[in-house]
Amino acid sequence: MKDGKNKRLSKRAKINRRFYIMAAVTVIYVVLALFADRFAPYDPVEADPAMSLCPPSAEHLFGTDKLGRDVFSRILCGAGTSFTMSFIMITFVSVLGTSIGMLCGYFGGTVDTVIMRFVDILLAFPDTVFAIAVAGMLGAGVINAVIALGLLSWTGFARMARSLTASIRERGFVEQARFNGASEVRILAKYILPNVIPQIVVMAAMRVGGTMLALASLSYLGLASQPPTPEWGVMVSESRAYMQTAPWMMIFPGLALFITVVVFNLFGDSIRDYLDIKK
């Protein structure tokens, strides 16, 4: 009995520790991304033809590109816009998607069916294809790319919130809530929402990384950020011609993307455990 309790306690402690570590890592990441110009050793857009295609060295940690720009500085500065955009978009879209999903899941009916069919249709589009269509209509650019991704990604939140709500609605405590005299609005806000939010937060945290990756792919295709903006997708795209001679131009932005996705996924994962009160 006592042993069991100790084990549980230490498990909780482990979960908390992991969460704090991941939160710290994420905070460091975000600070680096947002204040990159303070940390970057060089100007990310200033060309220096004399230093063209230098391999990584003490002076240029990640080497330089064709125009002699410092890859390390460009990578640092490339995260900021992408992160801010993704973060704002995901915040907006998760609130919207969750509200729509919860209403659909709770009240059901024709409106629910119509909205969910619409969601199915949206989900049938690969996001790149969709973004190309939006770029075709609104023109290429970061904002338009973010809008295109946002138009698709609310569906994930809506679906998740809907299915959670539909199953929570059938649980005993919702029936009990009616005996507590709770109105439908109150049931949604006080009984269902707290049980939906943890999953949504986890999903949102993970989606930030995913969206940054998607933005990079769109930039790679020339649909979001344009050269000479320091942006990872743009950088990978520019590096194609030098894959053999200057692989660092491609490896480091790729690595940055990889780390981004991993950081946000791990962070999301640690939030999931942290918010699970039963653990």
Partner 1 sequence: MNKNDMILEVRDLTKVFPAGKGRTLKAVDSISFTVNKGECLAVIGESGCGKSTLARLVTGVEKATSGSILFMGEDVANAGRRELKAMRRNMQMIFQSPVSSVSPRMTIGTFLLEPYINYGICCRQEAQERISELLSKVRLNDDCLRKYPHQLSGGELQRVCIARAFSLDPRLLVCDEITSALDVSVQDDVLRLFHSLQTGSGIACLFICHDLALVSSFSDRVMVMYLGQTVEIIDSKRLGRDAVHPYTIGLLRSMLFVSSDRNKPLTAMKGELQSPVDIPENCHFCTRCPYAEKRCFLERPQLREVETGHLAACFRV
Per CB under 8 A, residues contacting partner 1 are 171-173, 175-184, 186, 190-191, 194-195, 277-278
192 to each of 24, 98, 187, how far by Cα in Å?
Answer: 30, 12, 6
- Helices H / strands E in the chain, number of each: 11, 0
CB of 110 to partner 1, least distance (A): 19
Tell me how many degrees the CA angle 103-91-93 measures, rounded to the nearest 5. 45
Q: Which residue, 32 or 197, is less far from partner 1 as judged by CB?
A: 197
Q: How far is the CB of 184 from partner 1 (least distance, A)?
A: 8
Tell me the C-alpha distance between 250 and 241, whole Å: 10
Pick between residue 110 and residue 179 the one whose CB is nearest to partner 1.
Answer: 179
Of 19, 234, 11, nearest to 140 by C-alpha is: 234
* Identity of the residue, 19 or 29, whose beta carbon is nearer to partner 1 in the bound complex: 19
Q: How far apart are CA 24 and CA 18, in angstroms?
A: 10
Reduced to 3 states (helix: H, G, I; strand: E, B; else coil), residue 61 is coil
Indicate the residue among 10 and 183 with the shorter CB distance to partner 1. 183
What is the C-alpha separation between 175 and 42, in angstroms, rounded? 62
Is the CB of 117 or the CB of 178 nearer to partner 1? 178
Q: How far is the CB of 269 from partner 1 (least distance, A)?
A: 20
**Residue 186: CB minimum distance to partner 1, A:** 7
Report d(CA 214, CA 231) in Å as an integer: 12
Closest to partner 1 by CB, 13 vs 189, is 189
Please report how close the Cβ of residue 181 comes to partner 1 at its closest, in angstroms: 3
Asked whether 75 and 256 are in contact (CB, 8 A), the reply is yes
What residues pair up with 121 in beta bridges, in sequence order?
none
Tell the smallest beta-carbon distance from residue 225 to partner 1 (Å): 41
